């Protein structure tokens, strides 16, 4: 009986055998996309879909060490994979003009509770999708980096809370200060704190670097649009 050859995970074309690895596992080679792979790996991090599992566990309130225990891989590998995946994710360019947005900031800390940072982000009222976000101090410079994105998209209306700095950054004709109009983004704040372990209020998990916090937020906000690039 002739043994059937597996298909490539990338182009779905049939592959050919190409020797064996150091552990003795059979290697395969895909001629169209010129990639090598194995069906079985000694180290779990090399297995197919490990990246997808890391993403799923990250947004389901699992910490870095929890993910490492569940997948039986090293903590450093989890950190490295999250950073690598986040680099493939960019801010969505499909910003529609003439829309209404909600804008708010969420407090957290990096390293220790004395180093306070704010996550400033904007939510589209129609689609409930996050358009842009920035991490920094609660200053006009940090807020402006998000408000400029909304102004370039010719926002019809921007709803914020009563924070005074917004008055100098958003034109009066499109700015609305109302706690009732920001109910969606306020609810989003609670959802984010529930789903991301490092942002939960009562937990021993926290962000040690700004890069890692930004990487996790990119995955949480926009990972669905780049799911095909994760393996």
Instruction: Supply φ then ψ for residue 195, to 5 degrees.
Output: -85, -30
The pair of structure tokens assigned to 170 is 């958003």
Mean pLDDT, the chain, rounded, equals 88
Q: Tell me how far apart the alpha carbons of residues 143 and 226 are, in angstroms, rounded to a whole number.
A: 26
pLDDT of 5: 74
- Which residues, at least 6 apart from 122, have a Cβ–Cβ distance to it below 8 Å? 101, 102, 103, 130, 131, 132, 133, 146, 149, 150, 158
Query: Mind listing the domains of the chain with CATH numbers?
Result: 1-42 (2.20.25), 100-207 (3.30.420.10)
pLDDT classification of 79: cutoffs 50, 70, 90: very high
Average pLDDT estimate for 29-53: 81
Tell me what pLDDT residue 217 has: 96
For a pLDDT cut of 90, what percent of the chain falls above it?
Answer: 62
Instruction: Tell me the per-residue pLDDT of 96-137, one tens digit each, with 9 for 90 and over.
Output: 788 999 999 999 999 999 999 999 999 999 989 999 999 999
Residue 104 has a pLDDT of 96
């Amino acid at each position: 009986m002739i043994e059937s050859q597996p298909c490539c995970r990338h182009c779905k074309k049939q592959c050919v055998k190409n020797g064996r690895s150091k552990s003795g596992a059979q290697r395969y080679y895909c001629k169209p996309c010129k990639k090598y792979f194995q069906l079985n790996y000694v180290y779990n991090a090399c297995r197919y879909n490990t990246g997808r599992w890391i993403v799923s566990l990250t947004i389901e309130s699992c910490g870095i060490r929890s993910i490492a225990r569940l997948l039986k891989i090293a903590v450093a590998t989890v950190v490295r994979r999250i950073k690598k995946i986040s680099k493939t994710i960019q801010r969505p360019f499909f910003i529609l003009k003439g829309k209404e947005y909600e804008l708010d900031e969420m407090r957290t800390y990096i390293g220790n509770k004395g180093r306070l940072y704010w996550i400033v982000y904007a939510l589209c009222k129609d689609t409930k999708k996050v358009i842009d976000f920035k991490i920094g101090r609660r200053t006009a410079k940090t807020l402006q980096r998000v408000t400029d994105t909304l102004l370039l998209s010719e926002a019809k209306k921007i709803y914020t809370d009563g924070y005074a700095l917004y008055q100098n950054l958003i034109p009066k004709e499109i700015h609305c200060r109302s706690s009732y109009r920001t109910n969606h983004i306020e609810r989003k704040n609670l959802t984010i704190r529930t789903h991301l372990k490092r942002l939960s209020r009562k937990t021993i998990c926290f962000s040690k670097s700004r890069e890692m916090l930004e990487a996790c937020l990119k995955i949480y906000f926009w990972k669905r649009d780049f799911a095909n690039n994760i393996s």
